[in-house]
Structure 1
Amino acid sequence: MRVAILTDETGWHTRQLQQALRARGASGRCVDLADCDIDTSAPGSGLLIPGFGRGLPDAAIVRGVAGGSFEQVTKRLGVLHALEGLGVPVYNGPRAIERCVDKSMTSLLLHAAGVPTPPTWATESEARARRLLMREEAAGRALVMKPLFGSQGKGLARVGRVEGEPVALPPLSRSGGLAYLQRFLPSSPPDDAQAEGFDWRVLVVGGRAIAAMRRVSAHWVHNVAQGARCEPAALEPALAATAEAAAAALQTDYAGVDLMPGPDGRPWVLEVNGVAAWRGLQRVTPFPIAQALVDDLIDRRIGGRSAGLAPVRCA
């Protein structure tokens, strides 16, 4: 079995996946979606995947879709849609990735499914965004302004009533002409600026929460890429159930779900990551996460036992 690992960069994650695939008697080849072409004059499917000749991989794991122009990204996602349409299992599929990468769609689908999540707004109207901010600020609340397609905690800013002081909304021209705003959930006592707060990252694979960690930081942004430290976290029933409901709402094969304690004491979902990294989570998880992903792909999406692939189970 030959699996395409679709990624714009190779490294620790791709090596982990290749090792896990070898343990199941399969091989993984890293392919950049930017290098995949459509050629309807060629024999076969018309889709050219480097390293697979005129054929197609038996499955594809999406590890990264590089940014680019609107046209480039459309073509790269089109390749994923084409693979899926040609019968190749794509993990995660393009629809799931599109739902997760667009934070406004994530918020809308979580809300529609009844998954607890902070009130969220997305608008192209600067006047509406400023009226919203005035209302929230008058109630003593802060909002988090996020890039619609951002990741790793980059580009986040608090506006409204922030630590007792008003913070204005920046011009929407700085954020692509769109305001994506989410009500801020404090994770540490408001009267202790030095207190550490946390959020949870829960990994859901095949519909089941399998691992969790707390990301702890004195800063209000808790991404590992922004310096938060990882601590093991128990998969309490409410935490697991909420993360699983979020992954189901976005119809993901696997997902990294970010949650925080809500004002009602329940875990609330902030974001769902459809191309989730797991290096930090692996440091506090006793079983190999890449193997769990590969096992789910082969056993659930492909049916690997019937193909004679060797079963491997995580401890």
Structure 2
Amino acid sequence: MKIGVVGVKGGWSSELLAETVEKRTGYGLLVEMDKVRLDLDAETAYLNGLDLRELDALIIKKIGARYSPDLMDRLETLRFLNRQGLPMFSAPENIMRVLDRLSCTVGLRLAGIPMPPTTITESVDQALTAVEKYEEAVFKPLYTSKARGMTVISAGEGAREKIAEYRSNHKTMYIQKTIDLGPQDLGLVFLGGEYLTTYARRKQIGEWNTTTASGGKYGAFTPSDGVIALAKKAQEPFGLDFTCVDVALTPDGPMVFEVSAFGGFRGIQEACGMDAASLYVDFVLKRL
């Protein structure tokens, strides 16, 4: 079979997945979306002269090195190919629903998933009202990962000025109440909608978030059946083939932060000793 991997050249997980596909099938292709040409008249897309519809499938690992609205345009190219009959894992339309933080949050809340108190507004005045209500809040860009671009703002002197400064770069403000994470949060991994494993992200002393970009470390963790059931319910509406659900164990019970558009491999490997790339390729081959 000829299976391509949509990813980023030099990206650890992209390269690992492409190498794993090549070992299993004898064919390897890393598809960088900035090098793809969509030809709507020919109803296909090309990569260096290769008609991508000649492939048996695409596995979408990464659309770009950083999250941004531009990635939605790249997903539209893949959506067109998918509609023309090229199997994809996960389906581009499903990825679109979680790539945008607001879209993901709306989907989770409509499904009745518990999340930290959240406010969405374009108004500095309304944002200030939310911060005063929450006492402390995290302002999160709609397209981001590993807490990049996030800002913590507390109620009190200078809050309005900090909000206005943030608003100058982010028209739509996504504001979430700061909650007590404790020392860690969790990543619950699902493959084909079925629970696979869990890893913890343990934050560095003095940091407000647990991401590895802020010094967080991966560790093993065994969640309760209730937490697994909550995470399973959270990812179900999105229909992703491989994903990770971010869950915090708070004094008010477990809460979901987000459902990942692509899911990570490193936490699974370092904390759980599992080869996520091999498991994912096995899943794709069985589906095909």
Matched with 1:183 is 177
Q: Which residue of structure 1 lines up, in the alignment, with residue 138 of structure 2?
A: 144
Q: Which position in structure 2 is the counterpart of 1:88?
A: 86
What CA distance in whole angstroms lies between the structure 1 residues aligned with 2:67 and 2:143?
Answer: 12
Q: Which of the pair has more CA radius of gyration?
A: 1
Q: Find the aligned partners of 1:83 and 1:125 in 2 and give their Cα distance.
A: 39
The structure 2 residue matched to 1:239, chosen from 227, 230, 233, is: 227
CA distance in 1, matches of 2:61, 2:90: 9
* SS of corresponding position for 2:29: strand
Conserved? CA contact 1:212–1:233, under 8 Å: yes
State which drifts further: 250-259 or 168-177.
168-177
Change (3 A) 1:272 1:74: closer
Do the aligned partners of residues 112 and 121 (structure 1) sit closer, same or farther apart at CA in structure 2, a change above 3 Å counting?
same
Q: Using a 3 Å threshold, how does the CA distance of structure 1 residues 203 and 227 change in structure 2: closer, same or farther?
A: same
Once the two structures are TM-superposed, the CA of residue 247 in structure 1 deviates from its matched residue by 1.2
| Contact 2:91-2:240 within 8 A present in 1 as well | yes
8 A contact 2:33–2:74 mirrored in 1: yes
Counterpart contact for 2:128–2:163, Cα < 8 Å: no
Kept in 2, the 8 Å contact 1:17–1:28? The answer is: no
Partner in structure 2 of residue 56 of structure 1: 54
Task: Give the aligned partner of residue 212 of structure 1.
Answer: 198
- Long gaps (5+) in structure 2: none
**AA aligned opposite 1:268:** M
2:186 aligns with one of 200, 205, 214: 200
The normalised TM-score by structure 2 is 0.88
> Where does residue 250 of structure 2 map in the other structure?
262
Match of 1:170 in 2: 163
Q: Please give the root-mean-square deviation of Cα atoms over the aligned residues, in Å.
A: 2.3
Q: Residue 160 in 1 paired to residue 137 in 2? A: no
Match of 1:249 in 2: 237
Which is helix-richer, 1 or 2? 2
SS of residue matched to 2:50 = coil
Unaligned runs of at least 5 residues, structure 1: 189-196, 303-315
Structure 1 residue 59, shift from structure 2 partner: 0.9
Query: Structure 1 residues 241, 176: closer, same or farther in 2, change over 3 A?
Result: same
The 5 Å alignment of 1:91-106 reads: 91-106=89-104
The reply to whether residue 229 of structure 1 matches residue 214 of structure 2 is no
Q: 1:69 to 1:264 in 2, by over 3 A?
A: closer
Q: Distance in 2 between matches of 1:173 and 1:134?
A: 17
What's the CA shift for 1:167? 6.3
- Which letter maps to 1:116? P
Paired residue total:
282
Provide the C-alpha distance between the structure 2 equivalents of 1:120 and 1:69, rounded to a whole number of angstroms.
Answer: 21
Shift of 1:232: 0.4
TM (normalized to structure 1)?
A: 0.81
Percent identical: 26
Counterpart of 1:284 in structure 2 is 271
The equivalent residue for 1:20 is 20
Between the aligned partners of 1:124 and 1:294, the Cα distance in structure 2 is 42
Change (3 A) 1:247 1:167: farther
Q: In the alignment, what sits opposite 1:125?
A: 123
Distance in 1 (alpha carbons) for counterparts of 2:16 and 2:49: 20
Equivalents in 2 of 1:69, 1:245: separation in Å? 27
